[in-house]
A and B are shown apart, each in its own frame.
Chain A
Amino acid sequence: MNQGRGAPARFMSESSVRNLCIMPALALLIAFNVFPLLASLGISLTDFNPIIDTAPRFVGMGNYRDLVESPRQEVWRSFSRTGFLVLVTVGLETLIGFAVALLLRRSFRGRGLFTAILLIPMMLSPAVMGSFWRYLFNADYGALNWFLDARLNWDGSRALAFWAVVIAEVWMWTPFMILLSLAGLNAIPETLYEAAEVDRAGAWFRFRHITLPLAAPMVLLGIVFRAMDTFRLFDTAMVLNGNLEGQHTTFVSVLLHARGFGGSRSLGEPTALAYLLLIASLALATLVLRYLDHVRGVGAPERGRRP
């Protein structure tokens, strides 16, 4: 708070230096987020159609009503499908990630490089890897069916297509949970284990009462991040199964793409759907941010303050 005190007079005040620093960032973020979102809020209340050159008509909440009451309830279904995907995918990522992190905990030669190699899936493009997964999932000559010794039809309208997305996502993002679990495990003070050793506590007791509770905040942090990202999942589902409606992989973002970029329809309904997704995402984001504040408050009260 007190920096600049005693400094000689400069040709710029503190506040103008600050503005010079943060204004470019804020201006860009406003131009590319706030402005389009306000515009689309307006559009979502009309029957605006960019192809047909007639003046847009104000329809109030009509688009939202249509979405919620849509005959086959595709919208609700896409939301519940997405919720189920989050549950399954993030659950698996957490279980596998935490288990691998436990295995990686003890030091061994080349651990750094080994961990980095495990991170490779995370560095890859979901769209490109998803395209290649289609080859692996191919019903006739796919390596996965051969490996499972089955003739499963992973693509198209089959329920298995959902699980194909789960496999590709879990494969790609488990490394993220490994990293966060490792960070949580590494932060546990060794002295706790030594004390447990003195008390002759068993392995299960140590795991249940030291490892798990102390690593939990970081793992939970990973879970909320993954949940948020999976909730808006688009790339993997789109490349694996396209943007048709009514499929087992028609998640909210996919439905949005199908309706928003699907030809000559009015933009009113898709922007309304975008708002529903936005509201759900912001609700999740608020949870995340609350939780972040909580973790910081517990774990590192000094963080974020100037030294």
Chain B
Amino acid sequence: MTARGQAHGDRAAPFRAALLAAYALISMAPVFYMVVTAFKLPADTAALPPRFLPGLSAPENSLWFRFTLGNFRRVLSDLETLRYLFNSVFVSVISTALSVAIGSLAGYGFSRFPFRGGRDALFFVLSTRMLPPLAVAVPISFMYSRLGLLDTRFGLILLYTCFNLSFTTWMMKAFIDEIPAAYEEAAMLDGHSRLEALLRVVLPQAAPGIAATAVFSLISAWNEYAFALTLTSTDAVTMPVRIHAIIGDNSGVPWGPLAAASTLFLLPIVFFGLMMRKHLIRGVTFGAVKG
């Protein structure tokens, strides 16, 4: 990296690497153990010492467990779980698309047309992000029951769109702020309409920002729990609610199938997050700094 890095790096490098490896190991252990548990038979899930080596048999007091695909087979043949998985995908993807689209538009408006009270409006947008979900869940569930939106995917989509909207508006305003307005002005002087300038000039420039915003919105919608718990009961239930409901009263919990369902639910988002890691990292820092 730099002269400083080389001058002091060498002596301490193995020490630093060991510490980092230890942190990574501890941090990944619960996830690893969850994936491993998804392949266990019931007997092996309750065995001590905890078994995490997949094998063909499971000797007493060893770290080996008998590898089985039964949990996945059980989860994937359970129509209810599949429907809830579909709910999660459907609700989070659609609400992310909507909140990124509406938020980009609003971000563009705030960025390009400063107006009196604009700062206050932006402050209002940001402050909605800081509301505790449970503080609005009570009135919203009452409102939803009157509107017939309780336990509907549409109701959840509306709500998720809305709770991500403050974030997407702020992020997109900050990203669009960094695109010189001169570009689209030039396009408009060339006779293009504002819409054309927006689609052909601003949108391509804003693409990385849109990606960062979308990754973040998708992750929060995918993982949302408080609203899903309070506003759904049978039809529109999403996976986080479903998975916790499996546990029930803690006696005789089917940990294997639970881990399999969790793994199926978590893997896509981890895969997606790692694919988009540049945008994700940028989004976290940018989002924190810009609101």
A212 at the interface (CB under 8 A from B): no
| Cross-chain contact B270 with A123 (CB below 8 angstroms) | yes
Known: A114-B24, A120-B31, A194-B3. Is A28-B161 also a contact (CB below 8 A)? yes
Taking the closest CB of chain A, its distance from the CB of B24, in whole angstroms, is 6
Contact with A along B130-170 (1 / 0, CB 8 A): 11111111111111010000000000001101110110010
Taking the closest CB of chain A, its distance from the CB of B34, in whole angstroms, is 5
| Cross-chain contact A306 with B114 (CB below 8 angstroms) | yes
| Cross-chain contact A135 with B277 (CB below 8 angstroms) | no
| Cross-chain contact A292 with B291 (CB below 8 angstroms) | yes
B72 at the interface (CB under 8 A from A): no
Taking the closest CB of chain A, its distance from the CB of B138, in whole angstroms, is 4
The 8 Å CB contact of A125, one of B124, B158, B193, B266, is B266
Q: Which B residues are in CB contact (< 8 Å) with A132?
A: 30, 34, 37, 258-259, 262
Contact with B along A268-307 (1 / 0, CB 8 A): 0011001101100110110011001001100000011111
B111 at the interface (CB under 8 A from A): yes
| Cross-chain contact A134 with B250 (CB below 8 angstroms) | yes
Total B residues in contact with A, Cβ cutoff 8 Å: 117
Q: Which B residues are in CB contact (< 8 Å) with A174?
A: 27
Q: Which B residues are in CB contact (< 8 Å) with A277?
A: 132, 134-135
Among B73-81, B101-109, B205-213, the one that faces the other chain is B101-109
A72 at the interface (CB under 8 A from B): no
The 8 Å CB contact of A22, one of B20, B34, B121, B266, is B121
Q: How far is the CA of A24 from the CA of B109 in the complex (A)?
A: 11
A interface, size bucket: 35 or more
The 8 Å CB contact of A274, one of B121, B138, B182, is B138
| Cross-chain contact B130 with A282 (CB below 8 angstroms) | yes
| Cross-chain contact B130 with A288 (CB below 8 angstroms) | yes
The 8 Å CB contact of A171, one of B4, B27, B278, is B27
Among A54-62, A85-93, A158-166, A220-228, the one that faces the other chain is A220-228
B281 at the interface (CB under 8 A from A): yes
The 8 Å CB contact of A123, one of B139, B258, B269, is B269
| Shortest 9 CB-CB contacts between residues of A and residues of B | A21-B109, A232-B132, A25-B106, A116-B277, A125-B223, A36-B139, A18-B113, A40-B139, A127-B240
- Chain A interface residues (CB < 8 Å from chain B): 1, 3-4, 6-8, 10, 12, 14-15, 17-22, 24-26, 28-29, 31-33, 35-37, 39-40, 43, 50, 96, 100, 103-104, 106-108, 112-136, 140-141, 143, 146, 155, 171, 174-176, 179-180, 183, 190, 193-194, 197, 203, 218, 221-222, 225, 228, 231-232, 234-235, 238-239, 252-253, 256-257, 260-261, 267, 270-271, 274-275, 277-278, 281-282, 284-285, 288-289, 292, 295-296, 303-307
Other 18 A-B pairs with CB < 8 A, given A29-B162, A39-B142, A120-B28: A18-B112, A21-B110, A39-B139, A104-B20, A112-B277, A114-B20, A118-B27, A124-B31, A128-B265, A129-B30, A132-B258, A134-B247, A175-B27, A256-B134, A277-B134, A288-B130, A296-B289, A306-B181
